[in-house]
Structure 1
Amino acid sequence: MNPAHARSEIAEVAPPRISRGRAAVTVVVGLTLAGAVVGALWAWIAPPIRGVIALTKSGERVHVALGAESDNFFNSAFLLTGLVVVVAVVAAVLVWQWRPHRGPLLCAALAAGSAAAYGAAAAVGALIVRARYDVIDIAGAPISPDHRVVYVTEAPAVFFSHSGWVIAASALFPVAMAALVYSMIAVSSSRDDLGAWPPEDQPVLPPPVAVEDAFPSAG
Structure 2
Amino acid sequence: MTTPRSGVRREARAAAVIALAVLLVSALGGVLWGLVAPSEQLLVVEPGRGGLLTGESMHQFDGVAMFVCFGAVLGVLSAVAAWRWRAVRGPLLQVGLFAGSVVGAVLMARVGELVAEWHHPRPHDPPVGQIVELPIEVGSWLALIIQPLIASLLVLFLAALSSSEDLGTGTGTGATAETGSFDPAGAFGPYGTASQPAGGAPMPYRSYEPASEAGSGSLPETRPSR
Q: Structure 1 length normalisation: TM-score?
A: 0.72
The residue identity in structure 1 corresponding to 2:143 is S
Measure how far apart 1:84 and its partner are.
1.7
How many equivalent pairs are there? 174
Aligned counterpart in structure 1 of residue 136 of structure 2, from 134, 138, 156: 156
State the identity %: 25
Equivalent of residue 98 in structure 2, options 107, 111, 117? 111
SS of residue paired to 2:130 = strand
Question: What is the match of residue 45 of structure 1?
Answer: 36
CA positional deviation for 1:206: 5.2
Residue aligning to 1:190:
163
- Is 1:199–2:172 an aligned residue pair? yes
SS of structure 2 residue aligned to 1:129: helix
Contact between 1:92 and 1:179, CA under 8 Å: does it hold in 2?
yes
Tell me which moved more, 112-121 or 100-109.
112-121
Aligned to 1:63: 50
| RMSD between superposed Cα atoms in Å | 2.4
AA matched with 2:72:
V
One-letter amino acid of the structure 2 residue matched with residue 150 of structure 1 = Q
Given the alignment of the two structures, is residue 173 of structure 1 paired with residue 158 of structure 2, yes or no? no
Contact 1:53 1:152 in 2 (8 A): yes
**CA distances 1:97-118 after superposition (whole Å, capped 9, x unpaired):** 1111001110111111111221
State which structure, 1 or 2, has the greater radius of gyration over its C-alpha atoms.
2
Distance 2:33 2:14 in 1: 28
Determine helix, strand or coil for the equivalent of 2:41.
strand
**Higher RCO (C-alpha under 8 Å, 6+ residues apart):** 1
1:142 aligns with 2:133: no
Aligned to 1:26: 17
CA separation of 1:193 and 1:130: change in aligned 2, threshold 3 A:
same
Change (3 A) 1:87 1:102: same
Quick one: distance in 1 between partners of 2:51 and 2:135?
Answer: 14
Contact 2:88 2:169 in 1 (8 A): yes
Rounded Cα–Cα distance in structure 2 between residues aligned with 1:171 and 1:49: 22
What CA distance in whole angstroms lies between the structure 1 residues aligned with 2:170 and 2:18? 18
The one-letter amino acid paired with 2:119 is R
Query: 1:206 and 1:186 mapped to 2: Cα distance?
Result: 29
Q: Which runs of 4+ in 1 moved over 3 A?
A: 202-207
Q: Distance in 1 between matches of 2:173 and 2:123?
A: 62
Residue 52 (structure 2) pairs with residue 78 (structure 1): no
Q: TM-score, normalised by structure 2?
A: 0.70
Gaps of 5+ in 2: 1-5, 176-186, 195-226
Deviations 1:28-51 (A, max 9, x none): 000000011001111111111112
Give the match for residue 36 of structure 1: 27
Q: Distance in 1 between matches of 2:105 and 2:123?
A: 26
Gaps of 5+ in 1: 1-14, 144-148, 208-219
